Amino acid sequence: MLKQLNFVDKHASAMLYFSIIGFFLRPCDPFGGLMAFENLSQKLQDVFKQLKGKGVLTEKDVKAAMREVRLALLEADVNFKVVKDFVERINQKAVGGDILTGINAGQQVIKIVHEELIDLLGGTGSKLTFSMRPPTVFMLVGLQGAGKTTACGKLAGQLRKQGKKPLLVACDVYRPAAVKQLQILGSNFNIPVFSIEGSTNPVKIATEALAHAAENGNDLVILDTAGRLHIDSELMNELVEIKKATTPQEILLVVDAMTGQDAVNVAQSFGDQLGIDGIIITKLDGDTRGGAALSARAVTGKPIKYVGLGEKLEDLEAFHPERMASRILGMGDVLSLIEKAQEAFDEQSALDLQQKMRAGEFTLDDFLSQMQQMKKMGPLKDILGMLPGSIPGLNSQAIADAQIDDKALVHVEAIILSMTAKERDNPSILNGSRKKRIALGSGRQIQEINRLLKQFEEMKKMMKMFSDTSKGKKGKGFPNFGLPFMK
């Protein structure tokens, strides 16, 4: 695990993930609806647990497991034909080969499922392409309510961070307040928005936007087009005319994961009538089934380029088939976790923290600073979902049964900020009267203060262990930080 987390030296503060997350978890009944594919993931993991528990696998065992996989996929709203082909390919490779006669047959079957799932999702990630002669035009299309306007704003915001100079274009002249919504998004992300007040001609708006972009140095134009509640000839004709007038580099179809199989039908219709280059699936955080994502690529033959997992700018994520497959099968997504850390954590403060760790000078002020930076990575439940269930010492079922309490972040901040600078620097001086004063000032209980202090001491021990390992000393394996999901 330490070898996987090779960002420790460069991003020392990332070591706090496990302990900080642990502080805000408590065992409880399983929660529902908190992550995409949650139900599917749990059912598949249950099937594979049974496979791994058998010493020897028979053809009957594999076929029984594949029946369960088939049912799990259908319940997740995956397209029937996609499920049928998927299961048949796995059966052919598992039963038709030498898998059943080899050692670790259960693990080999899981490996086949993993590989087939990656292939089903697209094999490799598909990035946006850009025109050799700017401006590059991206045209976002889809039904009304799919989240096109929000996706336009988030996409523009992310590409601006990559050095582009985007221009948002309000081509939806029908939906009330559509232009205003795009302008608000543009203002939030500091991106200009082009519109023509009073115009009802989206082709004219798009054409003049290109001229405006050329005059003002915008190398990227993102067209927010109108949608309908259903696909009709009027909508398609308008989109075809915009396509002819602007020659977009890519047409991106925005589909709502919550619509299930309808999302796949919409994707197929837009692909046949307009031609699309990629798919953006929104609201995946609100659908624990996730079947649209598993079906869209297989049915349309077009890659999923982004998925929307929340309301924030960073919640529009580039789609990586291998990472998503690993998360569905409970293998975690360490690469995405590292990327989030690199974006959220300040490089210099991380290096400063590393020096403090090695000198044994880690304080509550440092903990508060790192906790505040970790909040930039998003909800704790999302970070937890990226941890591999195979980490030694982690109980994957207990992780699934944990309740994430993001509000506790605010409570801990209040406790630490109610301490004096001397107390934060040296918490060992905290006696009963001091704790009573802190409890009164923060509005929390003394028991919470004691818990924080105990957890803090465990963090310091963990820091020392990681620091020793990074210096080449022999480590003791993955430590138990007192997290409720640790064995």
Top mean-pLDDT range of 30-44, 87-101, 273-287, 463-477: 273-287
Contact at 8 Å (CB) between 302 and 277? yes
Average pLDDT taken over every residue of the chain: 77
- For 362-395, how does the pLDDT look when each residue is reduced to its tens digit (9 = 90+)? 788 888 877 777 666 666 656 665 555 444 344 4
What pLDDT was estimated at residue 212? 96
DSSP string over 60-87 = HHHHHHHHHHHHHHHHTT--HHHHHHHH
Give me the mean pLDDT over the 440-469 stretch.
Answer: 79
Radius of gyration of the CA atoms of the chain, in A: 26
What pLDDT was estimated at residue 241? 96
What pLDDT was estimated at residue 47? 84
What pLDDT was estimated at residue 2? 33
Higher pLDDT, 459 or 153: 153
Contact at 8 Å (CB) between 100 and 57? yes
* Residue recorded with tokens 């963090």: 459
**Amino acid, single-letter form, for residue 273:** Q
Give me the mean pLDDT over the 259-268 stretch.
Answer: 80
- Out of 233-237, 339-343, 477-481, least confident range: 477-481
- Out of 59-73, 303-317, 371-385, least confident range: 371-385
**Domain range annotation of the chain:** 12-32+335-470, 38-120, 136-319
pLDDT grade, residue 477 (50/70/90)? very low
Q: How far is CA 364 from CA 238, 423, 424, 456, in A?
A: 59, 9, 5, 8
CATH superfamily of 38-120: SRP54, nucleotide-binding domain (1.20.120.140)
Whether residue 230 is predicted with pLDDT greater than 70 in this model: the reply is yes
Q: How far is CA 8 from CA 16, 395, 471, 472, in A?
A: 10, 23, 11, 13
Higher pLDDT, 244 or 95: 244
pLDDT grade, residue 339 (50/70/90)? low
Give me the mean pLDDT over the 259-277 stretch.
Answer: 85
> What sign for the dihedral angle of Cα 422, 424, 429, 430?
positive
Whether residue 46 is predicted with pLDDT greater than 90 in this model: the reply is no
What's the number of CA atoms in the CB half-sphere (13 Å) around residue 430? 24
Record: fold of 136-319: Rossmann fold (3.40.50)
Higher pLDDT, 327 or 60: 60
Whether residue 129 is predicted with pLDDT greater than 90 in this model: the reply is yes
In this structure, the number of other CB atoms found within 10 A of the CB of residue 204 comes to 14
Top mean-pLDDT range of 23-27, 47-51, 133-137, 341-345: 133-137
- Out of 88-92, 314-318, 454-458, 467-471, least confident range: 467-471
pLDDT grade, residue 435 (50/70/90)? very high
What pLDDT was estimated at residue 265? 82
471 token code pair = 């210096």
Helix (H) or strand (E) holding 204: helix 202-216
CATH of domain 12-32+335-470: 1.10.260.30
**Amino acid, single-letter form, for residue 360:** G
Whole-structure pTM value: 0.66
Whether residue 14 is predicted with pLDDT greater than 50 in this model: the reply is no
Task: Classify residue 203 by burial, with Cβ atoms within 10 Å: 0-12, 13-18, 19+.
Answer: middle
pLDDT grade, residue 289 (50/70/90)? low
Higher pLDDT, 202 or 232: 202
What pLDDT was estimated at residue 385? 58
What pLDDT was estimated at residue 327? 75
What pLDDT was estimated at residue 350? 61
What pLDDT was estimated at residue 203? 96
Measured distance CA(483)–CA(487) in Å, rounded: 9
- For 417-428, how does the pLDDT look when each residue is reduced to its tens digit (9 = 90+)? 999 999 999 999
By C-alpha distance, which of 246, 285, 258, 264 is closest to 140?
246
